[in-house]
Amino acid sequence: MDLNTITEVVRRPSDRPGVDWREGDAWLAGGTWLFSVEQPELRRLIDLTALRWEPLVASEAGLDIGATCTIRELYAFAPPGDWRAGSLLATSCEAFLSSFKVWSAATVGGNICMSLPAGPMITLTVALEARYELWAPDGSVRTVDALDFVTGDHRNVLAPGEILRRISIPSHALRKRAAHRRFTLTRLGRSTVFLIGTHTPGTRDLLLTVTAGTTRPVRLAFDTMPEARTLQESIDVIPADVWFADPNGTPDHRRHLTRHFAEEIRRELMAGGPA
């Protein structure tokens, strides 16, 4: 779609692209959503891809993902063998409702900043206990837990002009065992619910992340593997207004699916399943 209100495109922003942020600006990375709908309030686009941020940096500390890393680049990444949860990178990419052409343009940071309930990069990074580095227009930097970034449907903690720079996933989370469940109305449809459970080898813990069925990510943490009833009760106390409603499912339907799949994940990780 042509954006006929745009009067300028900044192709070579400074290394601190937010310093001259002004009303009517928008960050441009993949642009797969930006160019898909009318944007009458926008006047200027700032192209982040020109900054050439490193897409993926693996180290002993974990994995740093540049905000402009494309879904194609993330999908092609081969995680180290001891990163048991590394398979979630590809799994989450496959949860996109998009074509291969979108994969080549859409970015990890863009999907997170859209902050839609079904955003699979949100699911992935919350489940793997990531932290986000945010740059403000005044040059300051802050770091937030992935769990705290999305506050509701299409809402997050970003202030005007603030930008997501990188996502850092710690190695201890990548070394966990993981299991996931996802439900869609059609084989390649938008997620109705998307759950990921992780478990630290040698312990009895469980970290369950609930997304897509809720307007914001929900994390249920247990020091010891819960009984089935305890897990169900923890899901039941999720506030009613957090469950999401759209053509892909009612809140009651999503709550039912979450209860069902959470128990499957619990049993799989408790039994030492394939992940």
Q: What is the pLDDT of residue 251?
A: 98
**Which CATH architecture best describes the domain 56-172?**
2-Layer Sandwich (3.30)
Each domain of the chain, given as residue ranges in start order, spans 56-172, 176-270
Global pTM reads 0.94
Two domains, one topology: 56-172 and 176-270 = no
Q: What is the pLDDT of residue 182?
A: 97
Q: What is the pLDDT of residue 274?
A: 47
Q: What is the pLDDT of residue 1?
A: 57
Tokens of 222: 């247990």
- Helix/strand/coil (H/E/C) assignment for every residue in the chain: CCCCCCCEEECCCCCCCCCCCCCCEEEECCCCCCCCCCCCCCCEEEECHHHCCCCEEEECCEEEEECCCEHHHHHHCCCCCCCHHHHHHHHHHCCCCCCHHHHCCCEHHHHHHHCCCCCHHHHHHHHCCCEEEEECCCCCEEEEEHHHHEEECCEECCCCCCEEEEEEEEHHHHCCEEEEEEEECCCCCCEEEEEEEEECCCCCCEEEEEECCECCCEEEEECCCCCHHHHHHHHHCCCHHHECCECCECHHHHHHHHHHHHHHHHHHHHCCCCC
Q: What is the pLDDT of residue 15?
A: 73
Q: What is the pLDDT of residue 273?
A: 57
Q: Mind listing the pLDDT tens digit of every residue in the chain (275 residues)?
A: 578 887 888 887 777 777 778 888 888 888 777 777 888 888 888 888 888 899 999 999 999 999 999 999 999 999 999 999 999 999 999 998 767 777 788 999 999 999 999 999 999 999 999 999 999 988 899 999 999 999 999 999 999 999 999 999 999 999 999 999 999 998 778 899 999 999 999 999 999 999 999 999 999 999 999 999 999 999 999 999 999 999 999 999 999 999 999 999 999 999 875 44
**Candidate CATH numbers 2.40.30.70, 3.30.390.50, 3.40.190.10, 1.10.569.10; the one for domain 176-270:** 3.30.390.50
What residues contact 239, with CB distance under 8 A and at least 6 apart?
A: none
